[in-house]
Amino acid sequence: MSDEWEDIEGHEQWQAKLEELLTEAESAARGEDDSKRFAVSRRLTDFITNSWPNDKAIKAMDEIAKRTAQDLLLQTIHERVREIAGRTAELRQLGKEFQDLADAASASASAIRLEKAHRVAKTLTDSVHLLKDLRASLDSGSDASLIRNVDKAMDTIQKLRAMVERES
């Protein structure tokens, strides 16, 4: 038991203590310091635990103390939730910003890994194989013009490959 409650005797003294706490609760409710609200809520709870004797008058005081503590705590909850909700739009925006920063960093990593050059080399190699298959299937007499074009395409690919080497 704390000293605060030790020497309180009789209804009048308990009534005076409750009035003191209610004044503090009112002041805490008007302010924005959560720690003051919690401190007075705890003292109101302690009031309920320590008030004595447990007769009708004391129980009525306990009920007032309980109601006051509860109102103070509920007010704090509603205010803090509103405060958090008030920052949500900015946090959503920051989340998107980090996603963009991540995309840019990934693009840098991809460039260092020469991913584009790898993709071009792979695509060109696949194309060469397809063109070779096509050329093999053509008739040298009737498809002479197409064969020339296929050869030209192969030549272009060779030049492209050289470019990839230079640009890598």
Partner 1 sequence: MHGKFLKPFAGLVAGLVAVLAGCATLPDVAPYRDATVQLRSAVLASGNAVGAELRNATLAVEEKDRANLEKSAKTFSENWQVRVESADALVVYAQALAEITKAGKEGGDTARSLAAALEQLAGGVGIALPPAGAVATLTDTAAFVYAQVAAVKASRSLEDALVAAQPAVNEIAAKLGKDLDASLALVEAAYLLQRLALDDKYGQEKSFLKALERERRKLYGQGQLSREDEKRLKEIGELYDSSKSWREPMQAAFAQLEKRHEVEREVIVATKAAVAEWAAAHRGLAFAVRDRRTINVEGLIQATLEARELVRRLRAL
- Dig out the tokens for 58 from the structure: 């004391």
Q: How many whole angstroms separate alpha carbon 80 and alpha carbon 77?
A: 5
Q: How many whole angstroms separate alpha carbon 9 and alpha carbon 44?
A: 17
Q: Three-state DSSP class for 141? A: coil
- The whole-angstrom distance between residue 129's C-alpha and the CA centroid of its chain comes to 49
Q: How many whole angstroms separate alpha carbon 28 and alpha carbon 42?
A: 13
Nearer to partner 1, 83 or 139 (CB): 83
Nearer to partner 1, 137 or 142 (CB): 137
Q: How many whole angstroms separate alpha carbon 51 and alpha carbon 10?
A: 9
Residues 113-152 that bind partner 1 (CB under 8 A): 113-114, 117-118, 121-122, 124-125, 128-129, 132
Of 14-22, 23-31, 99-107, 139-147, which part binds partner 1 (CB under 8 A)?
Answer: 99-107
Instruction: Show the site string, 58-97: x = touches partner 1 by CB under 8 A, - = not.
Output: ----x---x--xx--xx-xxx-xx-xxx-xx-xxx-xxxx
Binding residue for partner 1, selected from 108, 144, 146, 148, defined by CB under 8 A? 108
Contact 32, 83 (CB under 8 A): no
Instruction: Show the site string, 5-44: x = touches partner 1 by CB under 8 A, - = not.
Output: -----------------------------x---x--xx--
Burial class of residue 124 (count of CB atoms within 10 Å of its CB; 0-12, 13-18, 19+):
middle
What is the binding site for partner 1 (CB under 8 A)?
Answer: 1, 34, 38, 41-42, 45, 48-50, 52, 54, 62, 66, 69-70, 73-74, 76-78, 80-81, 83-85, 87-88, 90-92, 94-99, 101-106, 108-114, 117-118, 121-122, 124-125, 128-129, 132, 154, 157-158, 161-162, 164-166, 168
